[in-house]
Amino acid sequence: MYEGADTVVLFDELAYQDTLPVAWRPLAGSVDAAYAGGLSERNSRLLQACAAIEDHSSADREDDVSPELLRIDAKINLMLDLMGQLLSANRPRPMPVPVRFNTQGAQWAAAAATATPAVGSQGLVLLYLRDYLPEALRLLGRVTEVGADRQIKVRFAPPGETTADLMEKLIFRHHRRLIAGRSRSK
Cα of 135 vs its chain's centroid, Å: 11
At 88, is the pLDDT very low, low, confident or very high (cuts 50, 70, 90)? low
Instruction: For the beta carbon of residue 137, count every other beta carbon within 10 angstroms.
Output: 25
Pick the CATH number of 9-49+93-185 from 1.10.10.60, 3.40.630.30, 2.40.10.220, 3.40.50.2000: 2.40.10.220
**Mind listing the pLDDT tens digit for each residue in 157-175?**
999 999 999 999 999 998 8
What residues contact 116, with CB distance under 8 A and at least 6 apart? 110, 146, 150, 152
Residues of the chain with pLDDT > 90, as a percent, come to 51
Predicted model pTM: 0.80
What residues contact 148, with CB distance under 8 A and at least 6 apart? none
Average pLDDT of the chain, as a whole number:
84
Please tell me which residue, 129 or 133, carries the higher pLDDT value: 129
Please tell me which residue, 148 or 37, carries the higher pLDDT value: 37
Contacts 24+ apart (CB under 8 A), 34-37: 36/140, 36/157, 36/160, 37/160
SS3 182: helix
Residue-wise over 89-105: b if at least 16 C-beta within 10 A, else e? eeeeebeebebbbbbbb
Q: Is the dihedral of CA 164, 166, 169, 173 positive or negative?
A: negative
Per-residue confidence (pLDDT) for residue 58, from 0 to 100: 43
Could you tell me which of 157, 153, 120 has the C-alpha nearest to residue 138?
157
